[in-house]
Structure 1
Amino acid sequence: MSQKKPSKCKKKQTDEISLSKKRNTRAGNMGIGYETAADFAKRGANVIIACRNKDRAEAACEKIKKETHNQDIHYKLVDLSSFASVRKLAEEINQTEDHLDILVNNAGVYNVGNQLTEDGQQLLIQTNHYSPFLLTNLLLDLMKKSKSRIVNVSSLAGMAAKMDLEKLNKYNNFFTDYALSKLCNIMFTIELASRLKGTSVTTYSVHPGTVKTEIIRDSGLVAIVSRSIIRTLFKNATEGAQTSIYCAVENDLEPFSGEHFEDCHMVERYKSAQDVWIAKSVWAKSENVVQLR
């Protein structure tokens, strides 16, 4: 690219970056999502936490209010295993908000086995990709009313995937399915950026690092070993949220819409994510699955 690359940021210091105006945001109720929401709240944002569990959402909102003294922290319920629930959330936001400046698609699942949703999709791919894809598209008109950013939380696992559209709604194994969903996040970002050219909205995909969160919650041997390693070697949720925050608020990132970020700086796209025609194919497949049109 001919533009100057954005500079690296130091972890835990993104609160020094100021927002130009009050922002509405979507994040999560625990882990990276919680830390992202809390950071936005510290900046004076009007935060909307979208999640499935009402009790956890209420607890997260109250905790953030207490920690940040920001009372504009709200939640809306959504079940990402249901396209109807996603459409209901989007309708509520479009009706109640006059602008939406930051959208962080952070929710994700890992080892959920062979489960189909009410929409006939594998639970993992619907939660990790199809529902965020649908929600984002349903909120685009609202986001175009201001200078807005969309951050899609992906994973380094996407590097190991080889895109096969026929595998997206099949149960393969937990790692293959997860890696494919994370590659979809990146491909979605690439094609979305292309479609958003000439608008006020930009988008970025993020690898947060290997973070000790509740995404690995089962009691199997793999989970036990993974948690033991994670506790010793990898990031906590606050550290893991920094790249999402950076892409949401850092100045002058607009020329890099569609790019991939790690550790608060832009990195070369994984080899698995360099074919823009595959990105277009993933978009077309997703558009058909969620019945966007």
Structure 2
Amino acid sequence: MKRGMTQYGLSKLCNILFAMKLHRNLDGKGIDVYVLHPGSFIEQDISNSLGIAGKILFTLASPFSKSLSQGASTTVFCAVHPETKGISGKYWQSCWDDENNLQKELAHDEELQEELWKRTEKLIENIEK
């Protein structure tokens, strides 16, 4: 279970790093980039990759999980609400700017962002060959 959670956490960090780099690349061009955490979904079947311990954990966590429509609300809010226009490069959760809960030392590390961007470009180049 530890390995699965570590991989999951790294994938989320990569999402944040990539979005923050995209925000920097598009800054001043009128395109907003939002980093979103929709919450935990009971419909999400990630527990399969975590084994029996993961299934138990997800069962215990289900009362605290969101429905799909509740999870989608932050994405919809950022996409259409006038309050979010021009607020790019922020971390959003449950329809509010949750930048204070973001691991800033990692998320705003421009060197890490750059390295992930370059590795992503190389992976895409290899796929396109």
Q: So what's the TM-score if we normalise by structure 1?
A: 0.38
Offset, 1:241: 1.3
**Structure 2: runs of 5 or more not aligned:** none
Q: Tell me whether 180-189 or 212-221 shows the greater mean CA deviation.
A: 212-221
Supply the AA of the counterpart residue of 2:103: Y
Kindly indicate whether residue 103 of structure 2 is the aligned counterpart of residue 270 of structure 1: yes
Kindly indicate whether residue 93 of structure 2 is the aligned counterpart of residue 258 of structure 1: no
Map 1:128-277 → 2, pairs under 5 A: 173-216=3-46, 218=48, 220-268=51-99, 269-271=102-104, 272-277=106-111
Instruction: Summarize deviations over 1:41-75 as a string: whole Å, max 9, x none.
Output: xxxxxxxxxxxxxxxxxxxxxxxxxxxxxxxxxxx
For residue 24 of structure 2, give the secondary structure of its aligned residue in structure 1. Answer: helix
Q: Which has the higher contact order (CA 8 A, sep 6+)?
A: 2
Larger Rg, first or second structure (1 or 2) = 1
Higher percent of residues as helix: 2
RMSD across aligned C-alpha pairs, in angstroms?
Answer: 2.4
Residues 47 and 58, structure 2, Cα contact 8 Å, conserved in 1 = no
Offset, 1:264: 0.6
Residues 30 and 86, structure 2, Cα contact 8 Å, conserved in 1 = no
For residue 211 of structure 1, give the secondary structure of its aligned residue in structure 2. Answer: coil
Offset, 1:217: 5.0
Whole-angstrom CA distance in 2 between matches of 1:194 and 1:174 = 30
Give aligned-pair identity as a percent: 29
Aligned residues: 123
Higher percent of residues as strand: 1
Whole-angstrom CA distance in 1 between matches of 2:86 and 2:64 = 34
For residue 32 of structure 2, give the secondary structure of its aligned residue in structure 1. Answer: strand
Alignment-derived partner of residue 120 in structure 2: 286
